[in-house]
Amino acid sequence: LKSINVAIVGYGVVGNGVAEILVKEKDLLVKKSNLDINLKKVFTRNWNKKFKFPLPENIKAKSLNEILEDRDIDIVVELTGGVEFPYKLITDAILSGKHIVTANKALLAERGKDIFNLAEKYKIRIGFEGAVAGGIPVIRTLREGLVANRIEKIYGILNGTTNYILTEMTKYGKEFKEALKHAQKLGYAEADPTLDINGTDAGHKIAILASLSFGGFADFKDIYIEGIESVDKMDIDFGRELGYILKLLAIAKDNGNGVEIRVHPTFLPADHPLSKVDGVFNAVMIEGNNVGETMFYGKGAGSLPTASAVVSDIVDIGKSIALGVGREIEITSMNWEHKDLKLVKAPDFYTRYYIRFTVPDKVGVLAFISNIFAKYNISIAAVIQKEKLESKLAKNIVPLIILTHTASENEIQKALEEISRSNLVKAKPILIRVEDEENNLENK
């Protein structure tokens, strides 16, 4: 039975969960891992708050140095927020020879390259199962379970806040603002929900999954990200008439010319398994060349689910240490291809489109729009001209919905710009991308 000493930095929702599991499930972890995992120190900036899992005085650290300078501490668990502070902390901890477990997706997506390079140099392990999809062990699955596969595509519902809001809008006809307020009341959205609803959080997570899948670092600023702030309930309803459900989907695929990574509201076939992932649940669909289509589903956030993932990393690294391999342990950098990913940047991708125009109810409008679509090589799959919606729109103004076949984002943008320049179109067209079997989303 080997002792492993752990320190936690940052004692918020997840930190409390990790401490709770390490203390309450100590015996279970001994039995399963043959490790005596000891929570030796915890640091947080303010000890004068009330905590869900209160700690004895002797493990409350007064300073970070108390942890960094403690030679008995094997693993530092970083559970703070932001990027700069944890970057400095992890760098210092690596230089102090401590292994790292983190659930910080922003840090890994934006500064992962520097961190993993440093860790590789110093033969330090970085565990980050908690950074993506909470309790679902998707990092381990990509790295180990599916090691014998070339990953072709990943589709993820990776943000519980936005999925909760979209579910409320879809199932109960709520408007965005109302659904957001409700989510905040239930603790599913933060007071400042910006990074969730604008898609940044999902972007961080898909950047990490793409790095692991395709073996190189993705430059975060080149990822196309669009949030759900301006989703109109009306489009959710029209989409449903066409057989689609709206999700904030994170996509990474190798399209031959490079890796396409994007996050945006996406219509999915109503009978697709991802369409059925509701509320705060997360799901990740992974397609590998040998395994085919797989899907992993569970709670994407929350104290104990995320802590379950963090503790799995502590055990994993603890086992390496215990096996007496010293520093000769497996290094876990994401870029196993030893390269940066070549990203396909927006608008250089192809998908299907749902477009809602707001147009006068008169002859010639559809002809005008479809001529421009033809000019840009955009093939129309379906058209719905709705009766006017009295409550919403002015007199004689109606929504015109076009569903396209797979087309170039580039050409779509040009076509919409040209259409918008005319006097015919009364409001900026609404564009929602569509993924279905036509553009190779597997549905069994």
Task: Please give the positions annotated as active site.
Answer: 205
Among 148, 191, 363, 367, binds a copy of itself (CB under 8 A): 148
Of 51 and 296, which has the nearer Cβ to a copy of itself? 296
Residue 392 is a binding residue for a copy of itself (CB under 8 A)? no
Q: Which residue has the tokens 């001209």?
A: 385
Report the distance separating Cα 2 and Cα 314, nearest Å: 13
CA distance 382 to 367: 14
Q: What does each C-alpha distance from 217 to 287, 329, 371, 444 come to in angstroms?
A: 20, 22, 42, 31
Asked if 128 interacts with a copy of itself (CB under 8 A), we say no
C-beta of 332 vs 351, nearer to a copy of itself: 332
299 makes contact with a copy of itself (CB under 8 A) = yes
Whole-number Å distance between alpha carbons of 376 and 126? 48
Does residue number 161 form part of the binding site for a copy of itself (CB under 8 A)? Answer: no
Residue 186 interacting with a copy of itself (CB under 8 A): no
Q: Which residues of 239-269 are buried (b: 16+ CB within 10 A; e: fewer)?
A: beebebbbbbbbbbbbeeebbbbbbbbbbbb
CB-count burial class (<10 Å; 0-12, 13-18, 19+) for 48: exposed
Three-state DSSP state, 32: helix
Is 279 a binder of a copy of itself (CB under 8 A)? Answer: yes
38 contributes a contact to a copy of itself by CB under 8 A: no
* Spatial separation of the C-alpha atoms in residues 25 and 311, rounded to whole Å: 10
Give yes or no for residue 403 binding a copy of itself (CB under 8 A): no
Q: Quick one: which of 5, 33, 161, 266 contacts a copy of itself (CB under 8 A)?
A: 33
3-state helix, strand, coil in the chain (%, to 5): 40, 25, 35
Q: What's CA 390's distance to the chain center, in Å?
A: 38
Q: Between residue 208 and residue 227, which ones bind a copy of itself under the rule CB under 8 A?
A: 215
Q: Residue 295 or residue 424: which is nearer to a copy of itself going by CB?
A: 295
Q: Does 311 bind a copy of itself (CB under 8 A)?
A: yes
Q: What is the nearest approach in angstroms of a copy of itself to the Cβ of residue 22?
A: 9
Residues found near a copy of itself in the complex (CB under 8 A): 17, 21, 25, 28-29, 31-33, 129, 135-137, 140-141, 143-150, 215, 273, 276, 278-279, 281, 288, 290-299, 302, 304-305, 307-309, 311-312, 315-316, 319, 323-325, 328-330, 336-337, 444
